[in-house]
Structure 1
Amino acid sequence: MEVRQLKYFLEVARLKNFTKAAESLRIAQPAISMAVKKLEEELDLVLFNRQDKRVSLTAEGEIFLPHARRILDDLHGAELEMAELKGLSRGEVRIGITPMISAYFFPDIIRDFKRAYPQLSISVLGEGSGRIQKMIGQGELDMGVVAGGGSAAFPDALEVRRFLREEIVVCVPLGHPFAGRASVTLAEFIREPLVFYKEGYYIREFFLEAIKESGSTPDIVFETNLFSLVKSLVRNGTGISIFLKMVVAGDEDLAAVPFDPPLSLDLLIAWKKDTYLSLANRAFVDFLLKHAPGERAAGEPRG
């Protein structure tokens, strides 16, 4: 069994297509087919169902999948640790950050981290919280920022540390009746036309969970995952929305109104549990927890 075979197997399993996997890995399609076939022969098992152009894991393939991921994770961790011991690696942080906070909280964190560790490189990917969790689990990201609130549970495979608790506020144009209010209730908010976020963004799931007991259905007139578009649609009167307070604090043509009772989200840094965390990644975690704002940060484990 070769490492190359495991990599090819995982990519086919992820994309459910040999041709797309070959394109992703930038190799010829026959090469990936032959490697997977050889792996199946060595294991004396069929790992994929091949029907026309549709590819899916067999029951045996499903069982083999986590073993293949774990082998490659362990190998990657060993390579990182050995490189660091030999002083061969400059170090890289691969992190996923939800778009809503990447432009507001993290620019200063990244700038200051680079000043403190100029030899380290940082690669940032913008995705929703759910997608980030999945990518960490599959080894596509070393770490990521995920959102949670209340009794939110995280997969057992993730290690998480909270670095910030941020208030969720109603966002309205200045001429809206809510603009001059000290607070707005959930019942009042959901009676308004709403510009909202698509599935995959935790702030959406958190809000829908918060109103579940009311039995009311929100009047969502438009959905998008582009938070800048949400702001523009709020400005032109299409509807109102919700944001983390930091995102609208500097917008003079929008009003941020608290909920009554208040709502807040926890922002957490997450990585794969029981996996080697490189020196670069550990430095970033420590830096983030140390420089998160005052009493709003906490380093206790959750999940």
Structure 2
Amino acid sequence: MNLKQLRYFHEISQQQSFSKAAERLHIAQPAISMAMSKLESELGLRLFHRNERKIRLTDEGKRLLPHAETLLKNLKDAETEMSELKGLQRGAVRIGIPSMLGSYYFPPILMAFKHQYPLLNLEVIEGGTGQLQQMVERGELDLGVIVSEFVPENLHTELFLREQMLVTVAKDHHFAAQHAIPYDAFFAEELVMFKEGYFHRKIVDRIATSIGAKPNIAFETNLIPLIKSIVKQGFGISTLLGMVVEDDADLISIPFTEPVWLDLSIAWAKDRYLSHANQTFVDFMLAYRSSQTPS
């Protein structure tokens, strides 16, 4: 058994297809099939169910998979660290950012970082915090922005932003003149919400459950301009971070009677080597946070 065989085995298990795995690995399908047949022969075990539409792991294959993932992760970490010890001049930062922050908070950070470190490649993925958390845990992302309230034990986090979620209404809405909105009044309105998996929706669902309310969701979308447009036209209300509406004169933001604060953190896997490029980004972002905090 060697690392090449384990890499092939792992990719087949992810794609549930020999042909798709071969395509992703840029090798011919017969080569990957022969490699797996040889691995099974060496182990004296059958690793795949091949007589179905999708390739599935046997019980023996399922036992091998976590060992393969650990070995491949360790190899990647070793290669990264050794490259950096040689004085690697280039690197990559893969970070997942929720859409609200990606549109309104991170652009100046990303542009400033790229200006200071032009040789480093930035790859930014947009998604819900739940999805981003899973991608970090699986090693598909190096860094991810998540809500601190939902942090699992296998991730290391650094808090970088505390923001209040505010009820967002059109300027002619009957809430517009109020100083604070009770939860029950909010849930009595038609709502414009992000889809499930986004921190915006997760917090709203949690509040609804805590008071026994059922959200009356009229629109579901992850497009912030569309949410704002629907609210402006009076077809519903929403709850957004203040940064999203602070420059929009047609929208009014009001706190909840019981304020809802979000602690947002940058997260990475505790058991995975954090490359120099990614550590540099984390340090840069935390320094930016400190520079924006009033003294």
TM over 0.5: yes
What is the distance in 1 between the residues matched to 2:135 and 2:188? 36
What do the CA deviations read for 1:189-213 (whole angstroms, capped 9, x no partner)?
1100111121221221222112213
Give the greater-gyration-radius structure (CA): 2
Matched letter for residue 63 of structure 1: R
Matched ranges for 1:86-101 at <5 A:
86-101=86-101
Matched, 1:128 2:128: yes
Task: Give the corresponding residue for 2:111.
Answer: 111
Deviation at residue 60 of structure 1 after TM alignment: 2.8
Distance 1:294 1:28, change over 3 A: same
Distance 1:174 1:26, change over 3 A: farther
Check conservation: 2:100, 2:244, Cα contact below 8 A.
yes
What is the distance in 2 between the residues matched to 1:169 and 1:20? 45
Task: Give the corresponding residue for 2:208.
Answer: 211
What is the distance in 2 between the residues matched to 1:199 and 1:17? 29
Task: Give the corresponding residue for 2:282.
Answer: 285
TM-score, normalisation: structure 2: 0.91
Deviation at residue 260 of structure 1 after TM alignment: 1.2
Distance 1:290 1:53, change over 3 A: same
TM-score, normalisation: structure 1: 0.89
Check conservation: 1:163, 1:289, Cα contact below 8 A.
yes
What is the distance in 1 between the residues matched to 2:6 and 2:246? 48
What do the CA deviations read for 1:153-183 (whole angstroms, capped 9, x no partner)?
x333211111111111111111111122211
Matched letter for residue 5 of structure 1: Q
Aligned length: 294
What do the CA deviations read for 1:120-158 (whole angstroms, capped 9, x no partner)?
221111111111112112221111111233xx3x33321
Deviation at residue 294 of structure 1 after TM alignment: 6.3
Distance 1:78 1:264, change over 3 A: same
Task: Give the corresponding residue for 2:218.
Answer: 221
Deviation at residue 271 of structure 1 after TM alignment: 0.9
Check conservation: 2:146, 2:267, Cα contact below 8 A.
yes
Matched, 1:177 2:174: yes
Identity over aligned pairs, percent = 48
Secondary structure (helix, strand or coil) at the match of 1:179 reads coil
What is the distance in 2 between the residues matched to 1:40 and 1:96? 37
Check conservation: 1:97, 1:144, Cα contact below 8 A.
yes
What do the CA deviations read for 1:205-249 (whole angstroms, capped 9, x no partner)?
222112213212111112122222222222222211111221222
Distance 1:4 1:252, change over 3 A: farther
What do the CA deviations read for 1:245-281 (whole angstroms, capped 9, x no partner)?
2122222211111111100211111111121111111
Deviation at residue 291 of structure 1 after TM alignment: 1.4
Deviation at residue 11 of structure 1 after TM alignment: 2.6
Matched ranges for 1:117-196 at <5 A:
117-149=117-149, 152=150, 154-196=151-193
Check conservation: 2:89, 2:119, Cα contact below 8 A.
no
What is the distance in 1 between the residues matched to 2:132 and 2:217? 25
Check conservation: 1:171, 1:256, Cα contact below 8 A.
yes
Task: Give the corresponding residue for 2:18.
Answer: 18
Deviation at residue 7 of structure 1 after TM alignment: 2.7
Matched letter for residue 249 of structure 1: E
